[in-house]
């Protein structure tokens, strides 16, 4: 019998995407185990969500670890998980962690990459830029994490309309609904070994 698929979830905030993964595991949609939740900040609600579900937590404060943050994460996750999931994680991962988990780290970003992505583009700022620019469609992107900032191959995207009366906050709420669907969908592809990456193109095999 195959061992259950194991993931680590990295968080920096409230953890609604983490909660959506937990809910999808509990419902049976995702056949995997969250082995650990790692935060780069103390006292965030995502940690409480993990603790309430008896998931082991680690806090690696980004101000304390600085440039060595990725190496510290690698010490915790190496040979313990199959996939690393960034769910509202704000620190830049790099170095040996990216190499050891090549094509097995994924991130969810609240726009249709390459729009409104890269350095400084996170959280409500993304939606403010989308409203400011006047786009008619926005959404979210799940992508492979590489050494760049939101530059890895795209696994899937989900779109939402941008309404005339939208504010950054109302758009954020609409996109977040799709994030909760998309992130678990991408994780499921990994669990079922359906992901094939050819150059920048991600093929989802049936």
CA angle, residues 124, 151, 92, in degrees to nearest 5: 65
Distance CA 43, CA 182 (A): 27
Active site (annotated) includes residue 109: yes
Cα–Cα distance measured from residue 35 to residue 57, given in angstroms and rounded to the nearest whole number: 9
Element (H, E) at 120: none
Which one of 109, 127, 143, 180 is the catalytic residue?
109
3-state secondary structure of 8: strand
DSSP state of 191: H
Per 3-state DSSP, what percentage of the chain is helix, strand, and coil (rounded to 5)?
A: 35, 25, 40
Tally the residues of the chain: 206
Residues 6+ positions from 168 with CB-CB distance below 8 Å: 124, 127, 128, 130, 131
Tokens standing for 138? 């926005």
Positions marked catalytic? 109
């Amino acid at each position: 019998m195959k061992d259950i698929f194991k993931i680590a979830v990295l968080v920096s905030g409230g953890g609604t995407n983490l909660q959506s993964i937990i809910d999808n595991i509990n419902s049976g949609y995702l056949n995997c185990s969250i082995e650990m939740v790692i935060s780069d900040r103390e006292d965030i609600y995502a940690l409480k969500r993990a603790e309430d579900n008896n998931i082991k937590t680690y806090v690696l404060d980004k101000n304390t670890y600085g440039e060595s943050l990725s190496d510290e994460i690698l010490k915790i996750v190496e040979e313990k998980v199959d996939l690393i999931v960034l769910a509202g994680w704000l620190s830049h991962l790099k170095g040996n962690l990216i190499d050891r988990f090549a094509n097995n780290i994924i991130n969810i970003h609240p726009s249709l990459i390459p729009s409104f992505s890269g350095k400084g583009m996170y959280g409500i700022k993304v939606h403010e830029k989308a409203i400011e620019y006047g786009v008619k469609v926005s959404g979210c992107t799940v992508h492979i994490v590489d050494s760049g900032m939101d530059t890895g191959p795209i696994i899937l995207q989900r779109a939402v309309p941008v309404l005339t009366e939208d504010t950054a906050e109302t758009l954020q709420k609409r996109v977040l609904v799709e994030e909760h669907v998309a992130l678990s969908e991408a994780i499921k592809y990994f669990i079922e070994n359906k992901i094939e990456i050819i150059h920048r193109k991600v093929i989802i095999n049936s």
